A and B are shown apart, each in its own frame.
Chain A
Amino acid sequence: MEKVSIITLSRETESLGDEIAEKLSQLLNYQLIDRDQLAQFLHESGHDDLDENIDRVKFLIWAKAVREIVYKQIKKRPIIFLGRGGQTIFQNDVRTFHLLIVSSPEVRLKRIMEKYHQDEVTASHILSELDRKREKFLLETLGADWKNPMMYNLVLNTAYYSVDRACHIILEAMANIGVPSLGKGEQQPLFPNLDFGGNRVDFVHPSEEEFARILDFYRIKWLYEPRTFPLEWDNEGNVIEAFSPDFYLPDFDLFIELTTQRQKLVRKKNRKVRRLRELYPQIKIKVIYSRDYMHLLRKFGVEDNQ
């Protein structure tokens, strides 16, 4: 399987699909294309968005325009395509990971009650109406059972998982997906640089490998350089400076950067971290400096090897 460039995320009403899409977009640095963003792209490229009088033919014409837009966008960076029948539009694209988020009616009803501050009866009407609209759109466009699990790489029930936990499961599923048709007997990772502890990773520096061993020892899941954060752009919007923190700990939603380098390089890295915090205030990052790292190694009795 080629590298994933598109994640399609289909979801039931109030299944936390929108929240998961947003979070995944942050974690993976994928561009999120939701209904509004797509409408804007369509408008900019001279196409009409779907209106109320939708039918299968209109959908196919619209889908062609959407594909053109998306294929143009993924040249800049990968995307998450939220709803809008993405599982059908990109059905045969080998670069796509199809995700379906569902939840039990009881849980979705409770979410509606809390979100709209309504009693159970009113919330039930709201949920029915929202479900009906979604079903109508998908039936008229896809002409297929959109809840058929065979259409997706992963189906996740958020009655049992929080947004963070769901994202963790999705990342793990994506990192470990295999391509049995290769017939080589070994599963190939979807993302070469997305790897949970335990699998082989080509570390840039031995200190990173040692740190990964310590995380493995404490059963802390990690990803090595899973995300690159653009920090500076030129006038044409091209990224001219970026930063890839060494580790991401999905259970703690935390990035970790090891700095065991010379002071001059540390200063440069500190500047990048400061910039990252300015541009992405929602991102949690911890810098472990050389002294901290030596303490850590001493604690674990491996300082003599350094």
Chain B
Amino acid sequence: MIESKLGECVFTRVEIETRVKQISTAISQDYVGKRPLIISILRGAIFFTVDLTRSLAIPFDLDFMSISSFKTGFKKVEIEKDITEEVADRDVIIVEDIIDTGMTLNFLMHIMEKRFPASIVACTFLDCPDRRFIEVPVHYSCFEIPDIYVVGYGLDFRGDYRNLLEVYTLHDTSGRSTQILKHMGKGGPR
């Protein structure tokens, strides 16, 4: 049983800063001589995108996209806010907060591929392969996490906790999250 109060710390502020800079360096090296178009998927990815792009050593264009969510009662996923930049012949990097089932990224990739980019890759703050059933390529991933519910650094629970600088589990009365974190050598009180 998951409750809405915070559980244990999964990734500290320092761990996140260090890892985001590493990914930023990797992207800077991979895109030397290019000017990628970075598309941040609102709203969860915004915190990650800001930190990621601040450390980039290459020129880039930044745009934002938002898609409708299932819980808001839409029958089909739709683009709520589209990017304004042209995608054709651009090197596109889609930035997500978390990739789990693969359904959202699959939809975004399809949308972008129809706009004829020169290349397209995905960059995510968290990757949860245990929940994946739609196979999607993930090129850059800060952290791989097991199948636990986490919040912070852009990830929310009913709108809360996005602003946390660390990543936490939600309190799990079954103790399952604690056990998994212990196995990872993680955890500890807030």
B71 CB contact (under 8 Å) in A220, A291, A292, A301: A301
Task: Please give, as numbers and ranges, the residues of chain B lying within 8 Å of A302 by CB-CB distance.
Answer: 70-71
Name which residue of chain B comes closest to A288, CB basis.
Answer: B133
Q: Which of A170-225 contact B (CB under 8 A)?
A: 213-220
Name which residue of chain B comes closest to A301, CB basis.
Answer: B71
- Give the shortest distance, in Å, between B107 (CB) and chain A (any CB): 6
Task: Please give, as numbers and ranges, the residues of chain A lying within 8 Å of B107 by CB-CB distance.
Answer: 218-219
State whether the Cβ of B75 lies closer than 8 Å to any Cβ in chain A: yes
Task: Please give, as numbers and ranges, the residues of chain A lying within 8 Å of B74 by CB-CB distance.
Answer: 217
B77 CB contact (under 8 Å) in A219, A249, A288, A298: A219
- Give the shortest distance, in Å, between A257 (CB) and chain B (any CB): 11
- Give the shortest distance, in Å, between B1 (CB) and chain A (any CB): 10
State whether the Cβ of A286 lies closer than 8 Å to any Cβ in chain B: yes
- Give the shortest distance, in Å, between A168 (CB) and chain B (any CB): 15
How extensive is the interface on chain B, given as a class? 20 to 34
Q: Quick one: given A218-B107, A219-B107, are A292 and B147 in contact (CB under 8 Å)?
A: yes
| CA gap between A219 and B110 in the complex, in Å | 11
- Give the shortest distance, in Å, between A146 (CB) and chain B (any CB): 37
A218 CB contact (under 8 Å) in B71, B77, B130, B131: B77
Task: Please give, as numbers and ranges, the residues of chain A lying within 8 Å of B106 by CB-CB distance.
Answer: 218, 220
Task: Please give, as numbers and ranges, the residues of chain A lying within 8 Å of B101 by CB-CB distance.
Answer: 296, 299
Question: Told that A252-B135, A296-B131 touch, could you supply 17 new A-B pairs with CB distance under 8 A?
Answer: A214-B70, A215-B103, A217-B70, A217-B76, A218-B103, A219-B76, A220-B103, A220-B134, A249-B134, A256-B133, A286-B133, A292-B131, A292-B147, A298-B149, A299-B100, A301-B70, A301-B71
The contact sample of 26 A-B pairs, CB cut-off 8 A, is A214-B70, A214-B103, A215-B103, A217-B70, A218-B77, A218-B103, A218-B104, A218-B106, A218-B107, A219-B77, A219-B107, A220-B103, A220-B134, A249-B134, A252-B134, A256-B133, A292-B131, A292-B147, A295-B149, A296-B131, A298-B2, A298-B149, A301-B69, A301-B158, A302-B70, A302-B71
Q: Which residues of B contact A (CB under 8 A)?
A: 2, 69-71, 74-77, 100-101, 103-104, 106-107, 130-131, 133-135, 147, 149, 158
Q: Which residues of A contact B (CB under 8 A)?
A: 213-220, 249, 252, 254, 256, 286, 288, 291-292, 295-296, 298-302
